[in-house]
Amino acid sequence: MIRFESDYSEGAHQIILDKLQNTNMEQTPGYGEDSYCEAARGLIAAHLNGCQSDIHFLVGGTQTNLTLIAAALRPHQAVIAAASAHINTHETGAIEATGHKVISINTADGRLTDADIRQTYEDHWQDPTHEHIVQPALVYISQPTECGTIYSLQDLELLSNTCQELDLLLYVDGARLGFALAVQGEVPALADLARLTDAFYIGGTKVGALFGEALVINNQSLKRDFRYIIKQRGGLLAKGRLLGIQFQALFEHGLYFEISQYAVQQALRIKAACQAAGYDFLFDSYTNQQFPILPLDMIEKLQKHFAFHIWQKIDDSRSAVRFCTSWATPSEHVDTLIDHLQGGTYEQG
């Protein structure tokens, strides 16, 4: 069985494991105050074009999202997010558990538009009873989205301007950020994210690390006392150096970018094969998740050899599926999948 189910099925890139091994017996202070975290922060900061951001390392994405949002909002404030946003669908109400409503917006492909944000803002403030309604205060977007789509640099600049104009915070969930950075064209780089958002995180768990997310806080007012809140929410790792070591490995020689590009290239090979075979797509993704719409009999045949998610029923004869690549996907596995997608030989498998 060849797996295209997720981008977190394996352990970590070997460079990371080696670095963990090589540093193992060193004694360091705990809780992220060690020299590895310091070095990793420096390596990331070097990509931020001088933006004086605070960088914190947390273990996982849900933890990062709930900690940032709990720290950023006053009790009556709410998050604006796409209905498909991870915080709205797959974090077991972690945001609500911190006391805040998620105002969910239906979208075509996981992307919030400028119009969505303006409309939500207007709906609130033009309602004479707005004090009886949660106040939208923070815009949460994912880059890439849960649909594999991305915000272009122009998209992000527009959202950022709107948020500034409307006094809304802008936060980017970058669980798979590497894959968006790997997209060809006018996509926001790390320095753009630092310039255009109040906070964003650089996902490690799905991009080669054992675990770990690097939260970059750009807005001065969000920085204060942030470590207290990480600790309160259970996110301050005792052996914090493990996060520093991993992000140092990822950013020392461009490993993060390199392995993201690799994964995206493999995904685009799958995309091209589906296009060549005449299949439509649920979402127009240029990242490591591809959502082709396949005939049910094709799906059934593929399931004999490959593990992947059935994403959504389209009609009685077709469903959209998800193929997910990662730093750890062997190129030959993609060859085999393409072979099967293009028909012919796969009955023999």
Binding residues among 10-39 for a second copy as defined by CB under 8 A: 10-12, 14, 17, 20-21, 23-31
CA distance 62 to 333: 30
Determine if 205 is a binding residue for a second copy (CB under 8 A): yes
For a second copy, the binding residue among 15, 51, 70, 338 (CB under 8 A) is 70
Determine if 116 is a binding residue for a second copy (CB under 8 A): no
Number of residues lying near a second copy (CB under 8 A): 73
Interface mask toward a second copy for 175-194; x: CB under 8 A: --------------------
End-to-end alpha carbon distance in the chain: 11
Residue 38 carries which DSSP code?
Answer: H
CA distance 168 to 114: 12
Determine if 233 is a binding residue for a second copy (CB under 8 A): yes
List alpha helices for 146-254, DSSP H: 153-166, 177-181, 190-196, 220-223, 226-232, 241-252
Determine if 264 is a binding residue for a second copy (CB under 8 A): no
For a second copy, the binding residue among 174, 235, 244, 292 (CB under 8 A) is 235
Closest-CA residue to 56 (of 271, 209, 230, 254):
230
| Cα dihedral sign, 226-232-233-239 | positive
* Minimal distance, residue 96 CB to a second copy, in Å: 4
Residue pair 137/105 in contact (Cβ under 8 Å)? The answer is no
For a second copy, the binding residue among 46, 50, 52, 99 (CB under 8 A) is 99
For a second copy, the binding residue among 48, 61, 188, 291 (CB under 8 A) is 61
Nearer to a second copy by Cβ, of 60 and 301: the residue is: 60
CA distance 340 to 334: 10
Determine if 9 is a binding residue for a second copy (CB under 8 A): yes
Three-point CA angle 93, 96, 98, nearest 5°: 115
Stretch that binds a second copy, among 109-117, 150-158, 230-238, 287-295 (CB under 8 A): 230-238
For a second copy, the binding residue among 115, 126, 131, 278 (CB under 8 A) is 131
Nearer to a second copy by Cβ, of 31 and 346: the residue is: 31
Residue 281 carries which DSSP code?
Answer: B
Stretch that binds a second copy, among 3-11, 49-57, 184-192, 338-346 (CB under 8 A): 3-11
* Minimal distance, residue 70 CB to a second copy, in Å: 5
Phi, psi of 63 (to 5 degrees): -60, -45
Task: Name the packing angle between helices 241-252 and 14-22 (round to 10°).
Answer: 130
For a second copy, the binding residue among 37, 68, 85, 94 (CB under 8 A) is 94
Determine if 250 is a binding residue for a second copy (CB under 8 A): no
For a second copy, the binding residue among 41, 56, 100, 271 (CB under 8 A) is 100
Residue pair 219/12 in contact (Cβ under 8 Å)? The answer is no
CA distance 224 to 5: 39
Three-point CA angle 162, 166, 170, nearest 5°: 60
Stretch that binds a second copy, among 1-9, 146-154, 166-174, 335-343 (CB under 8 A): 1-9
> Using CB under 8 A, which residues numbered 288 to 307 contact a second copy?
none
**Helix (H, G, I), strand (E, B), or coil: what is residue 259?**
helix
Residue pair 143/151 in contact (Cβ under 8 Å)? The answer is yes
Nearer to a second copy by Cβ, of 4 and 200: the residue is: 4
Determine if 76 is a binding residue for a second copy (CB under 8 A): yes
Determine if 344 is a binding residue for a second copy (CB under 8 A): no
